[in-house]
Structure 1
Amino acid sequence: MARDVRGRAPARSRPAIQKAALAVAAVFLLIGVLGFVPGFTTHYGDLAFAGHRSEAKLIGVFQVSVLHNLLHLVFGLAGLVLARKVSGARLFLAGGGAVYLGIWLYGFGIDRHTAANFVPFNDADNWLHLFLGFGMLVLGLLLSNDVGTGGRLDTPMDRP
């Protein structure tokens, strides 16, 4: 194996899908932390643990609660762990995208002034969930075409 001047093995570059998963996970962690920062979260005094009565809004737009922020943090941490492997990065992006599309459908279909809106969601959240769902799904499916699949199906394993 070739070594650099200091005798170290060259750094291995991560596949694009792992880089994308790490970036998405980092954004979720950042958003989760910023949801607890007064000033970045407007009406911080109205931040409730859960439910539609939480009037706190991330950057004055996205309705948040303590539960909502904690979910972002957990999702971001899961993404960091899963992004360590190609298959995990694919699962985080494609599976997470499908989850976010489900969350969008849920937020779209519920009455926002009832206990069913326990996270809570507003219109801005719903549009963001739709964008995130499609974006993550596309990244998870398109960036993984040549990575971790074992090769093309028409190439026999026992011959070059």
Structure 2
Amino acid sequence: MTTRFAHATTTGRTHAQTAAAVVGAVFLVVGIAGFIPGITTHFGQLELLGHRSGAQLLGIFDVSVLHNLVHLLFGVAGLALARRRDSARSYLIGGGVVYLVLWVYGLVVGHDSAANFVPVNSADNWLHLVLGLGMVALGVVLGRDEARRRR
């Protein structure tokens, strides 16, 4: 099936929509994995929130129930917003900005501080930086390509 838009895939979705759906699906998988013993090490230490949660996704990234729920909600939002071209781009850019803010938060807040309610560690900080930059880049580049093709 072809569409009148050269930038759309054969399903009629833009590349930004596909990217938003993929990112959303990955967040859903990560959110679910955070509740699976074995994938999440020290699962018995999983707490609702805060830096005292000893659970780690893949033995690397600190997680809590709140952290996992945020991933699940972020995933659902990505899938829902991927339905429309403009909202898919907004999800990628806006979500990327949220992750960049989380990166700064992780740098500023001490890992053993009571203010570290998410919780985050150094691995989370690096991941948030990469996610933030990657999502913003996807939203900008794919959105720019879409706008150029519309003209």
TM-score by length of 1: 0.85
After TM superposition, the structure 1 = structure 2 runs for residues 23-102 of structure 1, keeping only pairs within 5 Å, are: 23-102=22-101
Deviation at 1:91, TM superposition (A): 0.6
Structure 2 Cα separation of the partners of residues 143 and 18 of structure 1: 9
Structure 1 Cα separation of the partners of residues 127 and 102 of structure 2: 10
Structure 2 Cα separation of the partners of residues 12 and 99 of structure 1: 29
Which SS does the other structure have where 1:147 is aligned? helix
Deviations for 1:87-136, whole angstroms, at most 9, x for unmatched residues?
Answer: 11001101100110011000111111111100100000000000000000
Residue 145 of structure 1: aligned partner? 144
Which SS does the other structure have where 2:106 is aligned? helix
Deviation at 1:16, TM superposition (A): 0.7
Structure 2 Cα separation of the partners of residues 47 and 146 of structure 1: 43
* Count of matched residue positions in the alignment of Structure 1 and Structure 2: 144
Deviations for 1:30-54, whole angstroms, at most 9, x for unmatched residues?
Answer: 0000000000000000000000000
Residue 5 of structure 1: aligned partner? none
Give the AA of the match of 2:12. S
Which SS does the other structure have where 2:128 is aligned? helix
Deviation at 1:79, TM superposition (A): 0.7
Give the AA of the match of 1:139. L
Aligned-CA RMSD value: 1.8
Gaps of 5+ in 1: 3-10, 153-160
CA contact (8 A) 1:87 1:148 kept: no
Greater CA radius of gyration, 1 or 2? 1
Which structure dedicates a bigger proportion of its chain to helix?
Answer: 2
Residue 127 of structure 2: aligned partner? 128
Residue 20 of structure 1: aligned partner? 19
Deviation at 1:151, TM superposition (A): 3.7
Gaps of 5+ in 2: 3-9
CA contact (8 A) 1:29 1:76 kept: yes
Give the AA of the match of 1:18. Q
Structure 2 Cα separation of the partners of residues 122 and 143 of structure 1: 31
CA contact (8 A) 1:41 1:56 kept: yes
Which SS does the other structure have where 2:144 is aligned? coil
Deviation at 1:145, TM superposition (A): 1.5
Structure 2 Cα separation of the partners of residues 89 and 62 of structure 1: 27
